[in-house]
């Protein structure tokens, strides 16, 4: 049986304590408050405005579809149960609003325009980038269930850019075989505002990432691959890191460079999978992209409600 002990020696493992437990406890309670997710503004804008074009007119606004799909992800409901949930909810609230059926939610969810909603913050961002896999229910699994045998499980890769306060400031959903380094370059280039530093694991050790980060005035904290070489046509910032790692060792470099901030992205993925699940429910690529963006907006809203303020405890 494989050992489950931490690779970090207990003698050197830092222990933390939450310093704002009362406020954080209230924020955890508010995450289940329906008024947080179905606001008066969403109710007021539930019906779609006339498009002033010929043909059939939309009955539900984009905000209505977004609200329904957000509740679906938050409470992990199938589309038919979302329909019943909203009908009962509006009945209890005394609202004379129609509820989109599950077919409408599925169809509109593929073309829904949902921006990544990032709380406005002042100052420069300490960006951490990483990726993780999300399972998708593919034809292979369906065939295995119907005919027996073992199906091939499909995956999509979710790439996130996380700020120093835990807010997701950039995201992209790709196929599982897409290179992390290339997507990381796109994430750094599209993150709004000013960036102070870019931290990532060895998958982002590329000259292209250094180029886009340095062009935005950001420091790069990425461990070089073990076969990294200096010189040539590479950038000087990467060469300095390679030389420093050779001199003091990889562990010491991570400590003095602040590479431990990489754990913020890992913690964000843990929150994503614990709260929203480790799989995508939509069947087509467009719907999956919309679903991933809605999930990131949910996590950002929860972060805005309150996060733990931890501090190290000396043992």
For 95-124, how does the pLDDT look when each residue is reduced to its tens digit (9 = 90+)? 999 999 999 999 999 999 999 999 887 788
Top CATH class, 125-280: alpha beta
d(CA 55, CA 186): 39
d(CA 144, CA 124): 50
d(CA 91, CA 302): 27
Compute the average pLDDT of residues 8-22.
Answer: 73
pLDDT tens-digit series, residues 237-257:
889 999 999 999 999 999 999
Mean confidence (pLDDT) of the chain: 87
Q: Which residues contact 295 (CB under 8 A, 6 or more apart)?
A: 73, 272, 276
Q: Which pLDDT band holds residue 232 (cuts at 50, 70, 90)?
A: low
Q: Identify whether the C-beta of residue 185 lies closer than 8 Å to the C-beta of residue 198.
A: no
**Measured CA angle at 241 (ends 237, 247), to 5 deg:** 145
- Where does residue 52 fall: left (phi above 0), alpha (psi -120 to 50 degrees), or beta otherwise? left
Instruction: Sort 171 into a burial class: Cβ within 10 Å, 0-12 / 13-18 / 19+.
Output: buried
The token pair that represents 291 in the structure block: 């679903």
Compute the average pLDDT of residues 43-63.
Answer: 85
Between 231 and 155, name the one with better pLDDT. 155
Between 229 and 220, name the one with better pLDDT. 220
pLDDT at 169: 95
pLDDT at 311: 78
Radius of gyration, alpha carbons of the chain:
23
The token pair that represents 67 in the structure block: 């609200």
The token pair that represents 251 in the structure block: 């562990």
d(CA 258, CA 279): 32
d(CA 247, CA 243): 6
Q: Which pLDDT band holds residue 1 (cuts at 50, 70, 90)?
A: very low
Please give the biggest Cα pair distance in the chain: 72
Per-domain residue ranges of the chain? 10-113+286-315, 125-280
Compute the average pLDDT of residues 187-194.
Answer: 92
pLDDT at 58: 83
Measured over the CA atoms of residue 131, residue 132, residue 136 and residue 138, the dihedral's sign is positive
pLDDT tens-digit series, residues 198-227:
999 999 998 899 999 999 999 999 999 888
Q: Which residues contact 24 (CB under 8 A, 6 or more apart)?
A: 18, 306, 307, 308, 309
pLDDT tens-digit series, residues 270-309:
999 999 999 999 988 999 999 999 999 999 999 999 888 8
């Amino acid at each position: 049986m494989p050992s489950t002990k931490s690779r970090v020696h207990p003698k050197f493992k830092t222990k933390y304590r939450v310093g704002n437990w009362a406020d954080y406890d209230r924020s955890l309670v508010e995450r289940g408050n329906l008024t947080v997710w179905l606001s008066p503004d969403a109710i007021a804008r539930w019906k779609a405005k006339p498009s002033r074009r010929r043909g059939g007119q939309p009955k539900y606004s984009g905000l209505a579809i977004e609200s329904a799909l957000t509740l679906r992800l938050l409470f992990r409901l199938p589309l038919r149960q979302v329909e019943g949930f909203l009908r009962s909810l509006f009945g209890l609230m005394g609202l004379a609003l129609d509820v989109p059926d599950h077919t409408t939610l599925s169809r509109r969810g593929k073309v829904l325009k949902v921006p990544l909603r990032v709380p406005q913050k002042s100052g420069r961002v300490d960006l951490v980038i990483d990726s993780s896999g999300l399972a998708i229910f593919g034809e292979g699994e369906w065939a295995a269930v119907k005919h027996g045998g073992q199906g091939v499980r499909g995956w999509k890769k979710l790439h996130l850019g996380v700020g120093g306060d835990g807010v997701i400031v950039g995201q992209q959903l790709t196929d599982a075989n897409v290179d992390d380094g290339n997507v990381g370059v796109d994430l750094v280039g599209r993150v709004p505002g000013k960036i102070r530093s870019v931290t990532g694991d060895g998958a982002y050790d590329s000259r292209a990432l250094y180029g886009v980060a340095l062009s935005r005035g950001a420091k790069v904290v990425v461990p070089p691959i073990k076969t990294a070489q200096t010189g040539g046509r590479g950038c000087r910032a990467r060469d300095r890191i390679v030389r420093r790692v050779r001199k003091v060792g990889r562990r010491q470099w991570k400590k003095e460079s602040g590479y431990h901030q990489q754990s913020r992205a890992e913690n964000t993925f843990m929150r994503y999978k614990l709260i929203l699940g480790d799989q995508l429910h939509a069947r087509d690529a467009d719907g999956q992209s919309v679903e991933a963006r809605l999930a990131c907006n949910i996590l950002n809203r929860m972060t805005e409600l309150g996060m733990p303020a931890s501090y190290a405890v000396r043992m």
